Amino acid sequence: MMEWSSFKKERIRHVMEKEGLDVLIASFPENIYYLSEYESIGHRILYKTQIFAMFELGKDQTTLVVPLAEVPTAFERFPEFNMTCFGHFYFAYSEGDLEFGEVKRIIQASESDSIQALCKNLERLDKTSRRIGLDESRLTPAQWKHLEITFPDKKFMPAFDIFGEIRTIKHESEVALLERAAEIAEESLFNILPKIKKGSNENEIGRWYMQEVVGRGAEPYFNVVTIDERSAFADTVNTKKMVKDGSIIRFDIGCVYQGYRSDIARTAVFGKCTEKVKQYYRAILIGEERAIKQIKPGVSAECIFNVAVEEIRKAGISHYERHHCGHGIGLDVYDPPSVAPGIKTQMRPGMVLCIETPYYELGWGGIQVEDTIVVTDTGSRYLTKSSRELIKVGV
């Protein structure tokens, strides 16, 4: 098996060559992590913070552009990187301490802002490095224009989607981390199910889940716990809505394990289950499982979507409609491709996908099942391991 660092460089080079790029620059946190494995707390919690990681085709040297305050952290982790900083911050230095000499040198050369620091690195590029893929996700239009005016001999190309293509195929070590992230979400959910009683509310069930996630060495990412008519509210927040006899409880949950995400869904019923819940849940489960059975190299994302929708309609929800039935997952919860109409992307070994077939009926409720799979040479393999059947609690 090719080691992770070699695999990653091969993916980056392959896509850069295909796109005709000489330089690739990341600005989105997950893209920076992929290029450099550098994580910045400031970058994640302060949206205006700008950090860049730069990769030059044909060279193994990585360049980081970071806020001055992060230089000691960045240098501690990656002393081999080229590093430029920007902004203002004040450190004192112990007398006679030579350990931070290089850190001090980097700090003393600080630029006024992130774009000036980036320009400093672009100025040193070889004149033949003319086509630059620049991740546009954390730049303003004015900053992009400034770079084009400053470097009229270079062609800047939006690269957010290019990074998405690079990250679409996962290394075996990435798949293992995604598998563990999914397992932690499942273990955490199934460990709290026996605690659910009549009167338990969405907020406290969500807190129980997060405690379980932390106890298993992962970070809480999101948890949507919705009850009864609120179970039809997609992408909502938890409330004080309480469980009662016959309640539908929809769980859409995930976590982060060593940088990699999980996103799974299960549906439970507290006490007596109505025939409509049974029939509709059976239909969405058939659609999900038959869509997953279609997954193999060469099959398009659109084809998988069509199978899911058609099978659900045939199984009993004739009016079923969806805009997508899944998505890639990795460092970001929504990696490409989307499993949706018009997406011609073909499945390739190493893609990791979440396949989901939710049904939301306002005024009644919502049901959902979502699983994570990896595409193999001959088909696919489940990374989620728990039962996909309708869950019964309070009985």
The DSSP letter of residue 56 is E
pLDDT, average across residues 271-275: 95
Fold of the domain built from segment(s) 172-393: Creatine Amidinohydrolase (3.90.230)
d(CA 59, CA 4): 18
Per-position b or e across 233-270, b if 16+ CB within 10 A of its CB? beeeebeebbbeeebbbbbbbbbbbebbbbbbbbbbbb
Structure confidence at residue 383 as a pLDDT band (50, 70, 90)? very high
Given a cut of 90, is residue 373 above it in pLDDT?
Answer: yes
Same fold, 4-167 and 172-393: no
pLDDT at position 47, please? 77
pLDDT at position 55, please? 95
pLDDT, average across residues 144-166: 97
Radius of gyration of the chain (CA): 24
pLDDT, average across residues 181-207: 98
Q: For 4-167, which CATH class?
A: alpha beta
pLDDT at position 39, please? 92
pLDDT at position 46, please? 81
337-344, long-range: CB within 8 Å, 24+ apart, which pairs? 337/168, 337/301, 338/301, 339/291, 339/301, 339/304, 339/305, 339/308, 340/301, 340/302, 340/305, 341/302, 341/305, 341/306, 342/302, 343/300, 343/301, 343/302, 343/305, 344/300, 344/301, 344/302
Given a cut of 80, is residue 1 above it in pLDDT?
Answer: no
pLDDT at position 97, please? 65
pLDDT, average across residues 81-89: 95
pLDDT, average across residues 6-34: 95
Given a cut of 80, is residue 201 above it in pLDDT?
Answer: yes
pLDDT at position 60, please? 73
d(CA 155, CA 150): 11
Given a cut of 90, is residue 101 above it in pLDDT?
Answer: no
**What percent of the chain has pLDDT above 70?**
99
pLDDT at position 283, please? 98
The helix/strand/coil state of 84 is: strand
Q: Between these two residues, 128 and 67, which has the higher pLDDT value? A: 67
Given a cut of 90, is residue 151 above it in pLDDT?
Answer: yes
Given a cut of 70, is residue 98 above it in pLDDT?
Answer: no
pLDDT at position 369, please? 98
**What is the tens place of the pLDDT at every residue in 300-355?**
999 999 999 999 999 999 999 999 999 999 999 999 999 999 999 999 999 999 99
pLDDT at position 131, please? 95
Q: How do the domains of the chain map onto residue ranges?
A: 4-167, 172-393
- In Å, how far are 23, 58, 148, 152, 237 from 126, measured between CA atoms? 10, 12, 17, 15, 50
**What is the tens place of the pLDDT at every residue in 44-53?**
888 788 999 9
Structure confidence at residue 123 as a pLDDT band (50, 70, 90)? very high
The DSSP letter of residue 198 is T
Q: In this structure, are residues 304 and 294 in contact, taking their beta carbons and an 8 Å threshold?
A: yes
